[in-house]
Structure 1
C-alpha cells in the first residue's frame, strides 16, 4: 500500500511519496521530485467566518467563544476570521499566484449538517464547498479535504461528543455524506487533523474546546472513539466509493521530535516512551494494530494502583484491532518543533493524568532559535554523554 507523507509546518503543507523501503535511496536536498505536491492548508473555523449565515449550525468553538470570550487571549473568535466564505475566489487567486498545486482545507461539519446529524442537510453550505472545489480545479489546484478539524457540532457535543461511542456513527454518517457530495472531484481525503490536540487539549487538560478537564481519562476515551471513527470512515470509502471515485483516504497526526538529554539508558528509554505516548498512541493502531505495549502496560499498572477496576486506557477487541489495522492510504505528519527529554522518578500515585502515565520530563532549550509562535523553536542540541 502506498504511503503519502504530508510534512506540515504551521500553515504550510507539502506532500511527497514515501513508504518505499530502499536502502540505496538518496534524498536530494536541492531538487524536489517531479511528483512532489506543493500546497498550503487551512481549517474551516480559522478562515471561513460566516458563523451563522446561510443555515450553518453552531459548533463548540462558536458556542464557547460567545459564552466566554476570555477563553481566547485577545477575546477574538472565528465569527468573521478571514471571511473565506465570502472571499473564496480571492483566496484561490492568491493560491494560484503563489504557485501551489494543492490546497488542503477542512469542511465545517456544522455548515453541512447544522444539527450535527444526517437528518438535515444544509444545501447552501454544500454549494459553498462545491463552488470552492470548482474554483480550485478551474485554476489548476487540487483540493485535499480534511473531514474534521476540531469543530464538533454543538448538538453532537451535547449528545456526548468524542467521549461517547455513539459519536462513531454520527461521524461515519457525516463522512459518508462528504464522500457522496464531493468525492467525484476530490482525490485526497483526511479523516482527522491532529486528533491528539482534539482529545488531549479538549478532553484531558481541557485547555481548549470543549474545555473538559478529565485528566488521564477523557483523552483516552476520546482517542478510542476517534480511532474507531477513522477506521469506519476509511472502510466506508474503501467499500462504497473507492471503485468509482479512485481516491485516497488518510489521517494527519502531529508529533514533536524528542531528543534524549543524555545518552544514558534511562533518557533513551524516556525519549522512546514519550514518542509512543504521543505519536504511537494514534499511529500504532492504524499501522500495526492496537496501542503501543508500553502504553498498555503503564496505564494498566497505574490504574490498578489508583483504585480503578480496569485500565483507564480502553482496550480494543481483536475484531476492532483487525478492523482498524491498515486503514490508511497515506499518512499526514505535522511536525512543528522538538523537545529535550529526561527520565524522571515514577510519579506518586494520586489523581490520574496522561503526564504521570508518561513519566518523562521535557523542555525546550532557551538557547534554541525562537519564532513568532513561542511554542515553535528550532532545536540545535545533541545529547550529552551520560
Structure 2
C-alpha cells in the first residue's frame, strides 16, 4: 500500500497540477517510448457476414434489438476496414505512430467458436493487415478478445460456462499459431470489467443480465482463469520461438480520497481494490485483494450463505495466475473522488456497491464532455500510475487507451488536443519525477467508429469518418495533426525548439 507520507506528497502535487499555474512538461519522451492508436474489430471492420464469418453477440443484438443502441445503428459496415485496411495503414503511416492496437474477431476466425473449423479468409484478413503494418514500420499490438463473442458460444451460456476457460484458451492458441511469428505484443482480454459488471452486474451491456454481486463475480473468475490458461499456453508452446509479450487490458478510474481524512483515504484504497485490484491482484499477486475476500465473505455469511459469493481460486490456479502478465495494460479516461460512508446494512439481493461500502462521485466543477461519466481530470492519472507501480512490483505500463469524445465529429477538436496534451504531460511528470516505468501511450481512437450502445453518436477519433458516404471517407482532425507532431518530436509542444532534451 502507498505510504502515508508518499500519499500526502502526491496530494500536494495533484493539487498543484489542478491549479491554473500547472506547467506543461516540455521534456521529450524517451526515444523508444511507444506512441500508438487503437481500434477494435466490431467497431471498425464491417463485413459482418462476409467470407465465412459467423454471427457474434453484437451482430445479433444490433440486428434483433436495434432499440438498445442509442441511434438504432449497427456495425454491419462501420468504417468498412475489412475492405479498406490498406487505406487505414496508410493513415497510420501518415500519423507517424509506431504501434497499432487492434482486436481479432473470434467469429471471423472460428465461425463455430471452436478450433476444429478455422475460417481461412478471416485468418487471411488479419495476416494481410499484419503484413501491411510491418511493411510500413508499424508494430501490431493484438487484442484476442474485445467483447464480440461468437453467438454460438453465448447460446451455450457464454462466459458463465465453466468450459469457457478451455474455449478461450483453444482460441488463443489458434491466434498464437496463426499470427504469432509477426506479433510481439498480445493482450488476452479488453476491459473484462465491462464484460462482467456491465454484462452480468449492472446489466448495461451484453448479455444484459442483472446479477450484482453474484454472476458478475463468477464471470470475472472465469475470465481470469481463461487469461491465465492462455498465458501459460504461450509460455509453454510459443514464447521460445516467437519471443512475444502477453498481458491483459484493464480499465480503471483513478479513485482519489475526497479529503485527507484517514476514513476517506481508506475508502479510496478500498474502491481501487474493488475496481482495478479485482482483476489486477490475481494476475500480479496470485489472488483477489484481501479487502474483497474479507468484506464479501462477511456479508455473504450475514446473508445466510454457507460460502462467499466471491469464488475461490485453487492453489494450482493461483500459481497459474501469479505473474501472468509481461506488462500492465491500462485503459484510463477519467477519475472520481471517494468518501467514506456508513457500512450498508445486509440485504438481499446483494450488490458490489454494498460489498465495497464507499461512495464515489465526480465534482461538478470538473471539465465536462459529451458523455456524463467522462470528466476531464488529467492530473489524476499520476495517482493511478503510482498506485499501480506501488501495488504490482513496478511493472512496465502501457496506457493502452486514453481519449475523449464529442458528439459532433468536429474537425476543430480543441478539447481532444488539450486532453491528449495534458494527460501525456502528467504521464511524463510521473515518469520523470516518480520513476514510474510507463513505456507507451495509445490514443482511442485512430478514427470515429461504432461506440457500442452509443452507436455513432459519440466520436472519439483523431480522424473524422463520413458514415453517410459509401466510401466511409476518413479526414484528419486538428487532433491528428497535433498527435502526428508528438509522434515525430516526442514532445508535447508545437515548437520543437521549446522541447527539452
Return the TM-score normalized by structure 2. Answer: 0.69
User: In 2, Cα distance between the equivalents of 1:228 and 1:380?
Assistant: 33
1:17 counterpart residue number: none
- Confirm or deny: 8 A CA contact 1:368 1:380 kept in the other structure: no
Q: Aligned ranges for residues 270-349 of structure 1 at < 5 Å?
A: 270-349=267-346
SS at match of 2:28: coil
User: Aligned-pair distance for 1:373?
Assistant: 3.2
* Aligned 8 A contact 1:52 1:58 in 2: yes
What is the aligned partner in structure 1 of residue 351 from structure 2?
A: 353
With a CA cutoff of 8 Å and minimum separation of 6, indicate the structure with the bigger relative contact order. 2
In the alignment, is the contact (CA less than 8 A) between 1:110 and 1:153 conserved in 2? Answer: yes
Which position in structure 1 is the counterpart of 2:81? 84
CA distance in 2, matches of 1:198, 1:30: 38
Give the 3-state SS of the residue equivalent to 2:365 in structure 1: coil
Instruction: For 1:166 and 1:322, locate their aligned partners in 2 and report how far apart those are by CA, in whole Å.
Output: 20
- Aligned to 2:182, the other structure's residue is in SS state coil
Within 2, Cα distance between the matches of 1:298 and 1:219?
16
Say which structure is richer in helix. Answer: 2
Distance 2:130 2:273 in 1: 37
Deviation digits for residues 86-116 of structure 1 (CA, Å, limit 9, x no counterpart): 1111111110110001100000001001111
Note closer, same or farther for the CA distance 1:259–1:121 as it changes in structure 2 (3 Å cut). same
Match of 1:369 in 2: 367
Q: CA deviation at 1:352?
A: 0.7
Quote the Cα distance in structure 2 between the aligned partners of 1:380 and 1:121. 44
Structure 2 residue corresponding to 1:168, chosen from 132, 143, 165? 165
Change (3 A) 1:289 1:133: same
Structure 1 residue 190 corresponds to structure 2 residue 187: yes
Cα distance in 1 for residues equivalent to 2:28 and 2:171 = 40
Unaligned runs of 5+ in 2: 1-24, 381-501
Three-state SS of the structure 1 residue aligned to 2:115 is: coil
Q: Deviations over 1:98-148 (max 9, x none)?
A: 000110000000100111111211111000001111111111111110000
Distance 1:92 1:208 in 2: 31
Which structure 1 segments of 5+ residues have no match? 1-27
The answer as to 2:120 corresponding to 1:123 is yes
Counterparts of 1:316 and 1:283, CA distance in 2? 14
Paired with 2:236 and 2:30, the residues of 1 have a C-alpha distance of 32
Report the Cα distance in structure 2 between the residues aligned to 1:104 and 1:355, rounded to whole angstroms. Answer: 33
CA distance in 2, matches of 1:39, 1:141: 9
Would you say the 8 A contact 1:61–1:210 is kept in 2?
Answer: no
Q: Deviations for 1:144-177, whole angstroms, at most 9, x for unmatched residues?
A: 1000011111111111211122100000000000
Equivalent residue in structure 2 for 1:66, among 63, 86, 99: 63
Number of corresponding residues: 356
CA RMSD, Structure 1 to Structure 2 (Å): 1.5
Partner of 2:465: none
> Paired residue for 1:7?
none
In the alignment, which of 38, 43, 47 is matched to residue 40 of structure 2? 43
Find the aligned partners of 1:157 and 1:136 in 2 and give their Cα distance.
32
